[in-house]
Amino acid sequence: MSDILLSGRGVTKSFRGLTAIRDVDFDIPAGAIFGLIGPNGAGKSTLFNLITGYYALTGGEIRFKGEDISGLPTYRRNRAGIARAFQISKPFPALTVRENVRVGAMFGRPGAREAEDVVDQALAIAGLEELADRTAEGLTVGSLRKLEVARAFATRPSLLLADEPCAGLNPTETEEMVGCLRKVRELGTTVWLVEHDMKAVTSVCDRIVVIDAGQKIAEGTPQQVVANPKVIAAYLGEPLEDEAG
């Protein structure tokens, strides 16, 4: 496998004694589209929140490009190259689509001069050029999701954490979003994708990590994962020890 971009060892998070993530290890190679799946409440969003620094780790460590980033504040992690597109779209409602993306492009890295080029590129990848001058308030769900990805991409990350970018989209929009993620990867950004739409996940991901009740239960290619009895059990709803998440 190629260089490891992001790795976690023994990643653990408890909330007031409730363990949401327990001892999870992962290695995300540079240049991949990785998947993260698991039943509702398995801890997927929590894991992403730990990686972006929105929550502090209870135990373990997270390394990015070989450096331990566990202690860095969120904005520093972004500057180091981790971006996130939210499951629940969080646009800046009063700003235009272009301004939203511009905020992503402007901060953190030297060479803010080319920011405008990056903005155009991000808008193009997401297919948002025509909506660029509208305010984000009042966009459709599909456009908001694209905006999330465009804005995150505009920070020129080496890793994009995409949290259910296809949730609630119709098949055409889902296809557009999958294409958009592929383009992001072609431009050199590794993608880690949380997704419920199994068709989207299996069609786009190289490898998939499966977590359930806060623990990693499987990892492998889409075919391996889909055939894994543990995964099937988790999805069919075997009695769970722990409803944390």
Partner 1 sequence: MNRALVLLAAIAVVVAAVLLPLWIGPFYTRVIQLFFFSAGLAIAWNLLGGFAGYWSFGHTVFIGMGAFTAAHIVTRLGPFGDGPLSMVLPILLSGLLCGLFAAIIAYPILRLRGIYFAIAMLGVSQVVGELINNLSWFQGGVGVFLQTPLPAGTAPEDFFYYVFGALLLASILIAIAVRKSRFGYALLSIREDEDTAMMLGVATERYKIMAFVLSAVLVGTLGAVYGYSVGYFTTYTVFRLDFSLNMIVFCLIGGIGTLAGPVIGTAIMLFITQVLLSRFLDIHLLITGAIVVAIILLMPGGIIGALRSWSRPRVRGGTVATETGS
d(C-alpha 206, C-alpha 124), whole Å: 24
How far from the centroid of its chain's Cα atoms is residue 66's Cα?
Answer: 19
92 interacts with partner 1 by CB under 8 A: yes
Q: How many residues bind partner 1 (CB under 8 A)?
A: 41
Residue 134 vs 185, nearer CB to partner 1: 134
How far from the centroid of its chain's Cα atoms is residue 131's Cα?
Answer: 24
Q: Which of residues 71-90 bind partner 1 (CB under 8 A)?
A: 73-75, 78-79, 83-84, 86, 88-90
Q: End-to-end alpha-carbon separation of the chain, Å?
A: 31
Q: Looking at the chain, which runs of residues are DSSP E strands?
A: 4-15, 18-29, 33-37, 59-64, 67-68, 82-85, 159-163, 190-194, 207-212, 215-220
From residue 119, alpha-carbon distances to 55, 122, 134, 156 in Å are 29, 5, 15, 10
Q: Least separation, in Å, of the C-beta of 147 and partner 1? A: 10
Q: Least separation, in Å, of the C-beta of 218 and partner 1? A: 29
DSSP for residue 129: G
Residue 121 in contact with residue 129, Cβ under 8 Å?
no
108 interacts with partner 1 by CB under 8 A: yes
x-or-dash string of contact with partner 1, 125-154, rule CB under 8 A: ------x--xx-xxxxx-xx------xx--
Q: Least separation, in Å, of the C-beta of 172 and partner 1? A: 13
Residue 83 vs 126, nearer CB to partner 1: 83
Residue 8 vs 157, nearer CB to partner 1: 157
d(C-alpha 11, C-alpha 1), whole Å: 22
Q: Which of residues 150-209 bind partner 1 (CB under 8 A)?
A: 151-152, 155, 168
Burial pattern 222-234, b for ≥16 Cβ within 10 A else e, equals beebbebeebeeb
Out of 30, 72, 95, 198, name the contact with partner 1 by CB under 8 A: 95
107 interacts with partner 1 by CB under 8 A: yes
Residue 220 backbone class (left: φ over 0; alpha: ψ -120 to 50; beta: rest): left
Q: Least separation, in Å, of the C-beta of 145 and partner 1? A: 10
x-or-dash string of contact with partner 1, 21-60, rule CB under 8 A: -------------------------------x-x------
d(C-alpha 84, C-alpha 163), whole Å: 7
Binding site for partner 1 (CB under 8 A): 52, 54, 73-75, 78-79, 83-84, 86, 88-95, 99, 102-104, 106-109, 112, 131, 134-135, 137-141, 143-144, 151-152, 155, 168
